[in-house]
Chains A and B, each alone.
Chain A
Amino acid sequence: MAYRINPALAAELENYGAANASECFNCGNCSAVCSLTEGETVFPRKFIRYMQLGLTDKLIQSPDPWLCYYCGECSDTCPREAEPGELMMSARRWLTGKYDVTGLARIFYTSSVGSAIILVVLAVILGLVVISSSGSMGLEEIALWSYLDSHAVHNLGLGVIGLVVLFGLVGVINMVAQIGKAARFAPRSGGGGSDWFSAIFSTAFTEILGHRRYITCDEEKDEPWHQQRWFVHGSTAWGFFGLLIATMAHWILDMVGLKETATWVPMYSLPIRMLGIVAGIFLVYGSTTLLMKRINKGPDKQAATSAPSDWVFLLLLWIAGITGFLTLIGEYAPPMAITYYLLLIHVVLSMELVLLAPFTKFAHVFYRSVAIYIHQQRGATKG
């Protein structure tokens, strides 16, 4: 297969953060030091080579950038300080931009001004939609859902999820189509990989929930468990999934008529509410720690450079978590107007967080999962 050389690839990737990769003299230290190399799934040097040679097709047709979790060992030991880990990160950002058809992902990764405008405009639109059906703020007694119309919020939520599924699917289909073009990942029979069922199972449980590769990635790190990257990330992810399940369950209960969203319940009475609270704690812990690491630009190498997309995602996640908790406290505290506003912010920003998922850092949820699935199914060795 012939490949077209794209001389601008290096400049493109530099736009996404890979500042030093042209320093690389291809010694191979990074690939050899990486704890995630398996068989012939070897990175990052190969990808720096693609960048230096302008092999856009090679880069876009590989799922491997998604298999890197950026422990930073390669960057720490690189004799040229070419920051291979940062190149892998930039490749993932660049790929997110390539998979996305709307161009929004590229804006979120490369322009702070553009990101801010999109963020504000979208928040205003979502806010207006939510407020348009709002009722009164009762100050004798907190009645959150007499202020916001729960059905309107549910319907808006369904719309948002519909859009996310649509754009997420388009992105994933683009990704799979690109990867499918590479001869290496052409279908083959026997040896190396697993069947689709066990691949899905291990992707979902061992990898996404269990963070196996993340833990392997950091096995040489010497930090307390609650500061380890896999735990902080896991905490955020588990928290988000827990809240997603709790929210969906609330909605289902509402649909089948078991419990209306607007009704007040004691804090302990529903397992779903307990799930929500526990998951919320995980989410707030995780997202706060992630934000702090990015603000401090360390100690993790990963946190040293942040694109607007990273901030958008983490800030939305964090604000959604915090306002959720404050609203919950407000529900059981003496009635205050601010509780209603917190709810409004919580609803609007949660919607925005989910709606922007295919275009921000959040998109890694889709792409990393698909890449891991492909990796599990194909196996680590070449056919």
Chain B
Amino acid sequence: MGELKNRYDVLVIGGGIAGMQASLDLGEQGYKVLLVEKDPSIGGIMVGLNKVFPTLDCSSCICTPRMAETAHHRNITIQSYTEIEKVEKKGRGFSVKLLEKPRYVVLEDCIGCSLCEYECPVDVPHEYDYDLGARRAIYIPHANAIPQVAVLDVEHCTFCGKCVKVCPTDCIDYTQEARHLDLEVGAVVVASGTTITPMGAKKEYGGDKLANVMNPLAMERVQSSNGPYGHILRPSDGKVPKSIAYVQCAGSRDKTLGISYCSRVCCMYALKQAILTKAYGDVDITIYHMDIRAFGKGFEQFYRRAMNDGINIVKAKVAKITEDEEKNPIVRIEMIDDDGRVEEVKHDLVILSQGLVPKWHPDGQLPAEEDTDGFFRIPDSKIHPTVSTTDGIFIAGVAAGPKDIPDAIIEAGSAAMEAAIYLESGKGAPVAV
């Protein structure tokens, strides 16, 4: 990973699949890249997913080699657990202020042995499993984390000292403080990614209070072999769900949420999860949708396959979700394709197919404009789909708008190429031929 210097060719913001791809594409061309990641580990959303559509490949099996490649690249420096304080245009380049949050673990000394984790007496709901599993107050973010280094959650730590005693390299330091870093870069690639619509956004869907109404990313973890349960169980009582419903457009294409756009991935991830769950055994799965948007290569076939697999595809916008005494979610729908009657259907588990919203709103920290939908504005989106409103800042992946993994990777490559061109064009007259 290398020592932090005070000048890099490119700053890449965000260590998800798009940020890693952009870093690698720039690093391979010989540019020095600083990859800044807010979380303790790179990998983003993809490393926590179960499978990818429509190929049903293992998501982490694709993502972790990229993480390792990024981490071991001679031209890429990863600055994890670090936030952007300010990026300012300075001449053709940028001055950058970073804030490295304290891990309370010396990054260079930790060997990722997990002994501190085993010893820690505090159990905390694990963010990586969307609070369905547990971690310790000092923990390695997850099995595939890079850097494979512990981080101490100071909110929950009781400072009992057990981890310090057991640590073989004495790398735990309760006195560590946040560090401000100043440096200069030639160009910036923003790959700040996405998060899903908040589960409580729509009060008709229980406002995040219903135990068996789940977040689709949590379902990815539940379906994963290294997930919190190791089986598909529902959260309230650990029952094996016999009837699962997907509520499409739960967090997009809804003006009342201020999200009028289509999030592009929800139809496909719902179909994917449904196909996989169905493959596990005897379960009824219903997808309530406004229309299924299977627009990419192999997507329509995937949709057909789901129907052949016996997944019920029902045209109906779920208006309300309530629950009975056993916490079985009940969805209220109009049977549009039938006779238009209104029905209340009981399921064991409901997954809200939440949409994609921008994860980072720079709010003056970065001189690139936001669009009305909250994603970064791309003034010339047809010809330069990764060029922001500011010269030298390029947008990759979902930061520019909702898209799936392959599209995010394509854009990351494009953003890397735009950044390289920007760097080269600043060097003076083009080489004569």
Contact = CB atoms under 8 A, between A and B. Distances in A.
A32 B253 CA distance: 17
Contacts of B332: 32-33
A37 B343 CA distance: 10
A32 B255 contact: no
B217 interface: no
A43 B409 CA distance: 45
Contact of A42 (B255, B316, B341): B341
Contacts of B318: 29, 32
A42 B319 contact: no
Contact of B340 (A27, A46, A76): A46
Interface string B319-362: 11000000000001110100111100000000000000000000
B317 interface: yes
A78 B333 contact: no
Contacts of B316: 27-28, 32
A31 B339 contact: no
Contacts of B339: 40
B290 interface: yes
Contacts of A33: 204, 319-320, 332
Interface string A42-82: 10011000000000000000000000000000001111110
B341 A77 contact: no
B353 to A, nearest CB: 14
Given A40-B340, A79-B249, A31 B334 contact: yes
A29 B250 CA distance: 12
Contact of A79 (B317, B320, B334, B342): B317
Contact of A32 (B254, B256, B315, B342): B342
Given A25-B290, A32-B318, A77 B204 contact: yes
Contacts of A29: 317-319, 334
Contacts of A81: 255-256
A40 B317 CA distance: 18
A299 B320 CA distance: 23
A27 B317 contact: yes
A77 B334 contact: no
A187 interface: no
A82 to B, nearest CB: 9
A26 interface: yes
Contacts of A31: 319, 334, 340, 342
A76 B319 contact: no
Interface in A301-343: none
A40 B341 contact: yes
A39 interface: yes
A220 to B, nearest CB: 10
Given A28-B334, A29-B317, A32-B317, A79 B256 contact: yes
Contacts of B256: 76-79, 81
Given A77-B204, A79-B249, A81-B255, A26 B341 contact: no
A32 B290 contact: no
A87 to B, nearest CB: 16
B255 A28 contact: no
Contacts of B340: 31, 40, 42, 45-46
Contacts of A28: 315-317, 319, 333-334, 336
A142 B3 CA distance: 102
Nearest to A74: B319
Contacts, number: 66
Interface string B236-278: 0000000000000100011110000000000000000000000
Interface string B201-221: 000100000000000000000
If over half of A's interface residues share one DSSP class (helix, strand or loop), that class is named, otherwise mixed; here it is loop
Nearest to B334: A28
Contact of B319 (A26, A39, A40, A77): A77
Contacts of A46: 340
A289 B198 CA distance: 38
Contacts of A40: 339-341
Contacts of B342: 31-32, 34, 37, 42
Contacts of B341: 39-40, 42
Nearest to B202: A77
Interface in A4-35: 25-34
Contacts of B317: 27-29, 32, 79
A265 B112 CA distance: 98
Nearest to B204: A77
Contacts of A39: 341
A251 B336 CA distance: 55
A66 to B, nearest CB: 19
Nearest to B343: A32
B291 to A, nearest CB: 8
Contacts of B320: 32-33
A164 B83 CA distance: 74
B255 A79 contact: yes
A25 B253 CA distance: 11
Nearest to A75: B256
Nearest to A382: B339
Contacts of B255: 78-81
A45 B337 CA distance: 13
Contacts of B204: 33, 77
Contacts of A80: 255
A301 to B, nearest CB: 13
Question: Which of B253, B332, B336, B342 has the most chain A CB within a 10 Å cutoff?
Answer: B342
Interface in B276-297: 290
Given A25-B290, A45-B334, A79 B319 contact: no
Contacts of B249: 27, 79
Contacts of B336: 26-28, 45
Nearest to A79: B254
Contacts of B254: 79
A94 to B, nearest CB: 22
Contacts of A25: 290
A29 B248 CA distance: 12
A31 B317 CA distance: 10
A202 to B, nearest CB: 22
A26 B317 CA distance: 9
A25 B293 CA distance: 15
Contacts of B334: 28-29, 31-32, 42, 45
B122 to A, nearest CB: 40
A28 B342 CA distance: 9
A49 to B, nearest CB: 9
Nearest to A78: B256
26 contacts: A26-B336, A27-B249, A27-B317, A27-B336, A28-B316, A28-B317, A28-B319, A28-B333, A28-B334, A29-B317, A31-B319, A31-B340, A31-B342, A32-B316, A32-B318, A32-B332, A33-B204, A40-B341, A42-B334, A42-B341, A45-B334, A45-B336, A77-B204, A79-B249, A79-B253, A79-B290
Given A32-B333, A40-B340, 5 more contacts: A28-B333, A29-B334, A32-B342, A33-B204, A40-B339
Interface of A: 25-34, 37, 39-40, 42, 45-46, 76-81
